[in-house]
Structure 1
Amino acid sequence: MPYGNAMDLTRLRHIVAVARNQSFSRAAEEEGITQPALSRSVAAFEARHDVVLFDRGRGGVHPTAAGLLVIDQAKKLLAAAGDLERSLRRYPGGQAGRIAFGIGPLLTGLFLPRLTRSLLQAYPGLQIFTLTRAPDQLVAELLGDRIEMILGNNWNLGRMPGTELEKIGRLEIGVMVRADHPLAHAGRVTLDDLENYPVASAVEPTPGSSIGNAGSLVCDNFHVLRETVLQTDCVWMSSPAFLREDLGAGRMIQLDVSDLPATSSDICLVFKRGRTRSPAAVAAAEEVRKMIEELAAS
């Protein structure tokens, strides 16, 4: 027998009401309809699916084996439908469901705790799911709809088919070492000088590059990289904004590398082309813009 349209939630609610009350009359009263109308609703379901849901007798109404199966699944469907309805009521305010986004390692350390705090305060009940990876490694997750956006440095993501990119600010990048590093008081240094020391980085050194020949730590956790640089001779390309307290307290210094031009990184939001953005994603993007503006002004 063809099933036709999707499962009728009203009939499922009637079935669950009969099971809960063990009575058609009490279930009808609870549902605010007549008993004949309720009986017709349940009978229509039984006829459509060729099952008997209840045994009716002097002792009341009792579910059959098929009835127990339907009642169990119906409760789950009705609960899920209720969750969906509540989420849709909250959706215009950005409070529904969850937001899933990818974020680069630097911006995770720099912004994610504050961004999470701001979103949870503004949108109670919001579930936030994040993936921390190099931005170019997150494109497949974006195109596969497992995340809604990417927040990170610009790695030519705007050229990736199916994506659109928005630049929202820039961050200065420099070479950092601990304050008592052998190069810390050498004045101007060169890239050749850096090759004698291990490298701390969130991404693997480019194949064929001499960078990292003295050893390296590749880790996408900037807090771990920071601790490593403070305790070793590693050199680290990082943002002064992330290390502001360490630089101010003299725990780290930024090297003056003569043959390395002033470096900054575009901070971008990347979306799947043509997709409508959720209110939570719009709010998250706006919050990051504000944080970058505050960094630039300070």
Structure 2
Amino acid sequence: MLDLRQLTYLIAVDRRRSFARAAEDLGMSQSALSRAIQALESRLGVRLFDRDRAGVLPTEQGREVVAMAADLLAASGDLERQVNLMRAGGTGRIRFGLAPLPAHALLPAILAERIATLPDLANDVVVRNVNALWPLLLGGEIEFFVSAEGQVPESHAIRAESLGAFPITQVVRPGHPLLSGQDDGKPYPVLLSSSTGLMAPSTMQPAETGTAHIIEDFNTLVAATQGTDAIWRTSAYAVWRELAAGTLCALPHAGGDAPRRMRMMIYSLARRSISPAARGLRDAFEKAVTALAAQAGDPA
């Protein structure tokens, strides 16, 4: 097998057209460099350089070998750079999942930032309810998923890490009767993005007595809330843009109590090592939750 150092020596001699100058560049003796080139010629079975008083010139075969050596050294450098990027989580492909609520709250900003800063890292993202993400995790099709706590079976095979807490918020359209205290006792439909994990705290408005509708698509949930008297049980973190714009409104908590919270978790297989890319994403999700809390003036 060829020694990459010999190819480096070959390129140096071809560039400098002098064993003495090449040896000086390489920090070695001229005799050692000459022996290395002779050994390479012997191994390849071709003469690489013609040597005379005028200097050193590559032979016809030598020029071809120099060109191939340059390609090999460039490929070796690319390999090392790619491995370094992979070790830092900056290249390759990562497959992960999120439940609809954290996906809407966290994913757009995180993906935009990572696509801009890590263009060689491919992201395969699955947005589903937990009952669909769970088998994908167990089957090794995704490396981790993000969802609210309490939606997966307790298991020693699972690694669960907290990303932070989301406030639970009841969201309605502007002008909704409940915003002005006009509770006429009628049942209001309830909208949810998932069938599990977002239980209504006892301190919330008691008007959630109508039919519950499970809708995974957030654009549809926004439109349905704006166009009906339904109460959307979600988190202010997921709809902060709509709340800030006044296109949706948050119902006040009973008695002015602080909002109840749900912990957002990242779930992975305990037996599987966490890749550098996954560690980077976990840190990005934690920072995003902290940023949302600061944006909302939420100390938690």
TM-score normalised according to structure 2 size: 0.62
The alpha carbon displacement at 1:157 in A equals: 3.3
Match of 1:196 among 174, 182, 187: 187
- The answer for the alignment partner of 1:11 in structure 2 is none
Partner of 2:174: 179
Q: Which residue of 1 aligns with 2:272?
A: 275
The equivalences for 1:129-208 within 5 A come to 129-157=124-152, 159-186=154-181, 193=185, 196-204=187-195
Q: Is there any run of 5+ residues in structure 1 with no aligned partner, and where?
A: 1-31, 36-82
Per the TM alignment, residue 99 of structure 1 is displaced from its structure 2 partner at its CA by 0.7
Is the contact made by 2:100 and 2:194 (CA closer than 8 Å) also made in structure 1? Answer: no
Shift of 1:211: 9.2
Map 1:8-157 onto structure 2 (within 5 A): 33=44, 88=83, 90-157=85-152
8 Å CA contact 1:105, 1:133 repeated in 2: yes
- What SS does the aligned partner of 1:220 have? coil
Which secondary structure does the structure 2 equivalent of 1:274 belong to?
Answer: coil
Unaligned 5+ segments in structure 2 are 1-42, 47-77, 201-205, 296-300
Query: What letter matches 1:201 in structure 2?
Result: L
2:233 corresponds to 1:237? yes
What residue identity is the alignment partner of 1:155?
Answer: G
Q: Which one-letter code corresponds to 1:286 in the other structure?
A: D
Pairwise CA RMSD of aligned residues?
3.3
- The secondary structure found in structure 2 opposite 1:237 is strand
Distance 1:34 1:197, change over 3 A: farther
1:172–1:264 CA contact under 8 A, matched in 2: yes
Match for residue 55 of structure 1? none
Q: Assess, with a 3 A threshold, how the Cα gap between structure 1 residues 277 and 198 changes in structure 2: closer, same or farther.
A: same
- Distance apart, 1:131 and its partner CA: 1.2
Residues 1:199 and 1:149: Cα distance change in structure 2 (over 3 Å): same
Distance, in Å, in 2 between the alignment partners of 1:172 and 1:34 is 74
Alignment partner, residue 225 of structure 1 = 221
What's the counterpart of residue 247 of structure 1?
Answer: 243
The 1-side partners of 2:220 and 2:115 are apart by 26
Partner SS state of residue 180, structure 2: coil
What amino acid sits opposite 2:155 in the alignment?
A: M
Q: CA, structure 1 residues 249+237, in 2 after alignment: closer, same or farther (shift >3 Å)?
A: same
Q: Tell me the distance in 1 between the aligned counterparts of 2:269 and 2:106.
A: 22
How much identity, in percent, do the aligned residues show? Answer: 25
* Alpha-carbon distance in structure 2 between the residues aligned to 1:287 and 1:98: 17
- Alpha-carbon displacement from aligned partner over 1:200-258 (angstroms, at most 9, x marks no partner): 2112389xx99987445422122321122111111111111222233234332222354
Q: Return closer, same or farther for 1:211/1:278 CA change in 2, 3 Å cut-off.
A: farther
CA–CA distance in structure 2, aligned partners of residues 271 and 205 of structure 1: 19
Q: Could you say if the C-alpha distance between residues 261 and 117 of structure 1 is closer, same or farther in structure 2, counting changes exceeding 3 Å?
A: closer
Whole-Å Cα distance in 2 between the matches of residues 219 and 156 of structure 1? 17
Amino acid paired to 2:187: N
Q: Which residue of 2 aligns with 1:297?
A: 294
Indicate conservation of the 8 Å contact 2:94/2:124, yes or no: yes
CA contact (8 A) 2:164 2:265 kept: yes
Bigger shift: residues 242-251 or 258-267: 258-267
- Number of aligned residues: 214
SS in 2 for 1:129: strand
Q: TM-score, normalised by structure 1?
A: 0.62
> Equivalents in 2 of 1:288, 1:249: separation in Å?
24
- Give me the whole-angstrom Cα distance separating, in 1, the residues matched to 2:223 and 2:250: 16
| Structure 2 CA distance for partners of 1:143 and 1:255, relative to 1, 3 Å | same
